[in-house]
Chains A and B, each alone.
Chain A
Amino acid sequence: MTTTDTRTPLAAPAAVVAGAATGRRRRASYVEPDRGALSTADWRRPAVRHTWRTMHVLLLVLLLVWCLGPLLLLAKFAFTPTADIQSTPLEFFPNGATTQNIEMAWTRYHIGQFFMNTVWVALGSWACQVLVATTGGYVLSVLRPRWAKLLNAAILTTLFVPAVVLLVPLYRIIVHPPVGGSLINNFFAVWLPAGASAFNVVLVARFFSSLPHEIFEAARMDGAGPFRLFWSIVLPMSRPILGVVSVFAVIASWKDFLWPFLVLKDQSVMPLSVYLQQMANVDKGTLMAALAISTLIPIAMFLIFQRMFLRGAGLGGAVKG
């Protein structure tokens, strides 16, 4: 039920992988700028230059207002008294700023506790996805037993089944799992289904296929068994793709709403996104502070891992919830 679950163009992962493997090196040695439709000669012509410069400036203004504007407003609301948010939302602190909203959200509504729940959800989903994707990819691309083709086909098929079909049957499995009691209000109810991401397995399997097989042969000659090969050769060589998968996994579980809303109902396990929905009707200032706090981590992650995000989104990420 995570967003990475959703359908993705199958041609894309190979391209991500190629980009992930060589992107940094190529960028460093690339001297000439990539050319677009405009040539250097075009840029020298005043008419062309002025039109495109103007369009670029306009685009920048639009992006600032449309994409950054709402977030800046949210940041401002977090420090504005509720009365001012309600009556003059666009004025710049007409009656001064306050930190009371943040304090309320943190102490009275325990945002921190739900924040930690989200962190647990994200970490567990990440671990489960990485485990399934790396071991599965290893079987499909390196060990290649007879049944690998069948497994590959079965995993690929799930890419074409829309998430909507899984909702009710998956809920039934969580309520009555094959072993043990109901998993409602248990983190495993989110962690385990998150692992069933065909997209991840395909991505990692294609990356493993692109690794030089001579190295595997050499390692086998030196007496490395399949476990050693996996742990000491394949995994360390797969850092770029594991980075992409990890960022996807963490962001997807951070964004997920419907599934945790259905299975993590108790406040002791409820993630932030579900709790925010319950807070919708509290005092506006507190709500805005809570919203701002829950946006901070993903934005910070984005700014730190920017290149990984954009690379992943560019080629793998026609992914929409």
Chain B
Amino acid sequence: MTTDDVVLTKFPTGTGKDRPKPRRTPATWVRRGGLTALLFGLPALLIFGIFSWWPIVSAVVMSFQKTNLTDPAVWVGLDNFKEIFSDPLLPTVIRNTAWFALLALIFGYPVPLIGAVLMSELRRRKGFYSALAYLPVVVPPVVAVLLWKFFYDPRPEGVFNTVLGWVGLGPYSWLNDPHMAMPSLVLEATWAAAGGTVIIYLAALTAVPAELYDAAEVDGASVLRKVWHVTMPALRSILLITLILQIIGTAQVFLEPFLFTNGGPNHATLTVMLWVYQLAFTSIGNRYGEATALSLLLAVFLAVLSLVYFRLTRSWSTS
């Protein structure tokens, strides 16, 4: 468009320049479809305005207020943040959330990748394999958690204890043990989520250009070298994205700690999101201001983390 402008200003041909600019009146606005555009935009403007943009703004405002949602809110400055930072639970909650995220990476990051690379080499029944892998993702999360809660039955007759008993292990107390509770939660979360990641990698793998493999073969590369030097680099940017998305997702984990253990035993599985919920919506609470302040802190942390992450990996992902 800039080239057009230049041409017009250099050689005024009389087509666009000399025509008098029509005045913008409400009538011309309507005639040019301004009103219909607004009508079509209305659902998005209303829904996003009321249920997305306004809550984001009011989250910032509420974090500086004390409110019980019925009486007028009172401005309290930084009190909510001070109370969060002086709460003895804060270090525990941060440690638990970080532990959950780390374990979820260890359990859930390499396995889908290996599975997807193996599956992408299938000549037949690829669809069957991927459907199997995806199946747990379709199960409603509440169902998955309640089912696994039964699997984690601490009695020797429990499902997992029976299976481990066949090889002479256990019985373990799973969710009742402060050290085992978090890994147990992560195991279920991995079961429920891994299939989605597998499918993402599979899709990325079909996009690897066949010429790259052909070229590698001409150079005499073995199968393993092809996987390592062609497949892996092609997956690099998607691997980087799924890593940060997984961290952002697991940092906000709620369902597993809430339904499995409700933060117990002895706060061993109390995560940030569960604490936000407890502050706002349970008997210790109606501390809405503090809950909002805490959720805002988590959001800011995640935003900074992703910024730093993308800065650090920028050169690496585009090569």
Contacts and interface: CB of A to CB of B under 8 A. Distances in A.
Contact of A318 (B122, B158, B200, B277): B200
Interface stretch (A102-110, A169-177, A238-246): A169-177
A131 interface: yes
A207 interface: no
B195 interface: yes
Contacts of A131: 43
Given A9-B241, A172-B288, A166 B55 contact: yes
A67 B37 contact: no
A192 B206 contact: no
A44 interface: no
B134 interface: yes
A273 interface: yes
Contacts of A37: 117, 120-121, 213, 223, 226-227, 230-231
A200 B44 CA distance: 11
Interface string B238-271: 1001100110111110110011000000000000
Interface residues of A, number: 112
B123 A33 contact: yes
Nearest to A6: B249
A87 B143 contact: no
Contacts of A135: 40-44
Nearest to A10: B241
A143 B44 CA distance: 14
A226 B40 contact: yes
A320 B249 contact: yes
Contacts of A56: 118, 121-122
Most chain A beta carbons < 10 A, residue from B38, B51, B230, B252? B51
A143 B38 CA distance: 10
Given A15-B203, A162-B248, 15 more contacts: A37-B226, A66-B191, A68-B135, A89-B158, A89-B159, A132-B44, A154-B53, A173-B58, A225-B36, A251-B138, A254-B140, A295-B143, A298-B140, A314-B200, A314-B202
Given A7-B245, A158-B52, A162-B252, A280 B200 contact: no
Contact of B193 (A161, A192, A320): A320
A94 interface: no
Interface in B44-76: 44-45, 47-48, 50-56, 58-59, 62, 67, 69
B90 interface: no
Contacts of B223: 37-38, 42, 48
B255 A321 contact: yes
Contact of B146 (A170, A193, A287): A287
B88 interface: no
A119 B154 CA distance: 35
Contacts of A298: 138-140
Contacts, number: 308
Interface in B106-148: 115, 117-123, 127, 129-143, 146-148
B89 interface: no
Contact of B47 (A38, A195, A288): A195
B309 interface: no
A114 B64 CA distance: 39
A12 B119 CA distance: 21
A132 B46 CA distance: 9
13 contacts: A34-B206, A37-B231, A38-B121, A56-B118, A67-B135, A139-B37, A145-B38, A154-B48, A161-B56, A173-B54, A196-B51, A201-B44, A273-B143
Nearest to B143: A291
B43 A168 contact: no
Given A162-B252, A166-B56, A314-B199, A128 B47 contact: yes
A59 interface: yes
Contacts of B45: 151
B44 A151 contact: yes
Given A42-B223, A170-B51, A313 B151 contact: no
Given A138-B40, A168-B280, A9 B134 contact: no
A215 interface: no
